[in-house]
Amino acid sequence: MLSRRLLLSLCAALLLSPAVAIAQPKDKVAISALPFISTAPIFIAKERGYFDAEGIDLDIKVFNAAQAVAVAVASNDTQFGITAFTGGFFNLAGKGALKVVAAQSREEPGYNFVAYVASKKAYDAGFRSPKDFAGKSVAITTVGSSFHYNLGMLADKYGFKLDSVQMKPVQSIPNMMAALTGGQVDATILPANNALKLEADGAGKIIGWVHEHTPWQLGVLFASSKIVKEQRPLVARFVRAYQKGLADYAAAFLAKDSQGNRMVGEKALALMPVLEKWVQPKPSIDTVKVAANYMDPQGRLLVKNIYDQLAWYQAQGLVDKSVKVEDFLDLSFVKGHLDLPKR
C-alpha cells in the first residue's frame, strides 16, 4: 500500500511539473517590414525569443518599399507592419484599416539614419548641399513616400519650390540605388546602410543627413484595425516583445560618451549576427557605428509630428481632408508618449 501511494504521489507531481506540462500553442502572427537597421528591434526580439516568450510565433515578411508594408497589413496578408509614414499609409489608415500602436525610427539630431546622396557627376559639378535640390532629378520610391516628404520638408525650410525638383518614382530602394549608379538621376535619398555602400562603391557622395536639417518621427509599428479591435491582449503581448527588442537595440547601439561619441562595444558585437542575417545590404560593425539610427527605447511617439505630417500630405492633395490622426492612433499600448498636441 505504501509503495502504491508513493507511486501515485510521484505520478501526480510529474503531471503538475512545468517540464511535462502540455505546451500551449503559440499565436501565429506575421509582420511586414523592410530589411533595414531600423527594423532591428523586431529582428532582435525574434532571434532572442522575446516573441516566443509572449506566446507568439512570428513570421517576418520582407518588402522593398514602405507602401507595400502598409498594403500588406491593410489586405490582411500580415497582422502587423513596421515602416515609415507615407501618403498611402495615411489613406489606408483613414479608411479604417490600420492602427499605430508604437514608435519605430525617428530622425534625431546626432544619429544618422537617412542620407542625401548625390551622383558622382552631380557632386563633381558642384551639388554639395541639400539646400540645392532645386532643378535636380531625384530617385524616390513612390509619390507620397517618406522620401517625397523629406524633399517637401527641405523645400519648406530652405525656400525652394518642391515642383522644381524632378522626382522620379522607381518603386524600390534597390531601384533607387541603381538609378543613381546608372546616371539616370542627380541624387537620391537612402537609409544610411545603403547610402554608405553607394559611397564606398564610388557611385555617389553623401551630401548631408536628414537629422541635420529636418528631424521628425519617421517610422511606426502599426497593426490591422481588426486585430486591435478583436485581440487587444495579443497586440499588447506583441508590443511587450517589441519593447524588449528596442531596449536591447538602444543599449547596444545608441549609447554615447560624455563627448557625444558612439560607444559601440560588446553588446553591439553580440547583436551583429542578427543584423547580418536580416539587414540588407549586410552591415559591418563599422557601418553600424555610423548607421544605427535613433529609436525611442520604449517605443514612445512624437505625437504632434504625426499631425504635422498628415497636414502636409493633405495640403499636397495626396491624402483626403477627412482623415484624422485620432482615427488611427492608439496610444494605450505604450506609456508616456512625447510631445502630445495641446488641446
pLDDT at position 258: 87
- In this prediction the pTM is 0.89
Closest CA to 222 of 141, 305, 325: 325
Q: How far is CA 33 from CA 60, 198, 274, in A?
A: 7, 22, 15
Give the residue with greater pLDDT, 329 vs 343. Answer: 329
Give the residue with greater pLDDT, 199 vs 3. Answer: 199
Q: How far apart are CA 300 and CA 295, in angstroms?
A: 9
Q: How far apart are CA 134 and CA 23, in angstroms?
A: 61
pLDDT at position 175: 96
Alpha carbons within 13 angstroms on the beta-carbon side of residue 335 total 1
Q: How far apart are CA 130 and CA 153, in angstroms?
A: 11
Closest CA to 101 of 253, 329, 269, 305: 329
Q: Mean pLDDT across the stretch 106-112?
A: 94
Q: How far apart are CA 14 and CA 9, in angstroms?
A: 9
Residue 9: pLDDT above 80? no
Give the residue with greater pLDDT, 257 vs 209. Answer: 209
Cα end-to-end distance, the chain, whole Å: 76
Which residues touch 309 (CB under 8 Å, ≥6 apart)? 85, 90, 149, 216, 217
Residue 19: pLDDT above 60? no
Residue 93: pLDDT above 70? yes
- pLDDT tens digits, one per residue of 286-317: 999 888 999 999 999 999 999 999 999 999 99
The DSSP secondary structure of 148-209, one letter per residue, reads HHHHHHHHHHHT--GGGSEEEE-SSHHHHHHHHHTTS-SEEEEEHHHHHHHHHTTSEEEEEE
- Give 221's DSSP letter: E
Radius of gyration from C-alpha coordinates of the chain: 23
Q: How far apart are CA 287 and CA 285, in angstroms?
A: 5
Whether a cis peptide bond, with omega within 30° of 0, leads into 281 is: yes
Q: How far apart are CA 190 and CA 262, in angstroms?
A: 21
- pLDDT tens digits, one per residue of 209-244: 999 999 999 999 999 999 999 999 999 999 999 999
Which residues touch 8 (CB under 8 Å, ≥6 apart)? none
Q: At 260, is the pLDDT very low, low, confident or very high (cuts 50, 70, 90)?
A: confident
pLDDT at position 3: 63
- Give 24's DSSP letter: P
Q: How far is CA 261 from CA 100, 108, 121, in A?
A: 32, 15, 32
Q: At 17, is the pLDDT very low, low, confident or very high (cuts 50, 70, 90)?
A: low
pLDDT at position 194: 94
User: Which grid coordinates belong to 186?
Assistant: 542627380
pLDDT at position 256: 87
Q: Mean pLDDT across the stretch 52-67?
A: 96
- pLDDT tens digits, one per residue of 60-92: 999 999 999 999 999 999 999 999 999 999 999
User: Which grid coordinates belong to 299?
Assistant: 517605443
- pLDDT tens digits, one per residue of 153-190: 999 999 999 999 999 999 999 999 999 999 999 999 99
